[in-house]
Amino acid sequence: MSYSREPRLHEAETRTRPDRCEHPGCAAEANHRAPKARSQLDDYYWFCLDHIREYNRNWNYYAGMTDTQVESEIRNDTVWRRPTWPFGGTGEDFGPGTRFRDDLGVFEAAASMGANKSRDQDSKRPQYDSHIQRALRIMNFDGPVTLTELKSRYKELVKRLHPDANGGDKAAEDKLKDINQAYATLKKFLGA
């Protein structure tokens, strides 16, 4: 199989060709050359097949950069994307087959805390019958209510919705009927 017909893969030019691939750390033979930049089409990098292909893949990415920037990019790519710890020796903690250990149970505790939290919220929210919930809404409560609070709210609402205060407004009158009913329901619910 030959890659020599791929775009931008050129036959080796023995005169300027270095012995080894110019990708840092690569010891492969440099059989392929690539222009360093669009503005430097007669100045080449020399790469092995793997690295000329990588370079070509990144051609558009490198296109706007200067020669120095390109070289720096290639170098950074080599340094930072490789594991820097030595294989074997002190690196064994991260070696293959190492199981994640949670000796202190931190992650397990956090996970179950999350689960308990939602359970607690559910159990603390009182589950009233629907007619009690409706009565609470009508009297403008959004949670549990004491008899004192209920009576106080009722007085306040009656004062506000009394026909004398609303010029016989029908909507206020209807609302007051609902409130009287809700008040009776909640009083009974609270054992009063």
Q: Could you list the residues that contact Zn ion (CB under 5 A)?
A: 21, 23, 26, 28, 48, 51
Give the shortest CB-59-to-Zn ion separation in angstroms.
16
Smaller CB distance to Zn ion: residue 48 or 161? 48
Give the shortest CB-32-to-Zn ion separation in angstroms.
9
Smaller CB distance to Zn ion: residue 19 or 93? 19
Smaller CB distance to Zn ion: residue 13 or 173? 13
Euclidean distance between CA atoms 30 and 47, whole angstroms: 5
User: E strands, the chain, where?
Assistant: 32-37, 40-47
Give the shortest CB-64-to-Zn ion separation in angstroms.
24
Smaller CB distance to Zn ion: residue 50 or 120? 50
Structure tokens at 93: 């903690």
**In this structure, what DSSP letter does residue 29 have?**
B
Q: 94 Cβ partners below 8 Å, 6+ apart?
A: 85
Give the shortest CB-47-to-Zn ion separation in angstroms.
5
Euclidean distance between CA atoms 79 and 38, whole angstroms: 26
**In this structure, what DSSP letter does residue 109 have?**
H
Q: Round the CA-based radius of gyration of the chain to a whole number and report it.
A: 39
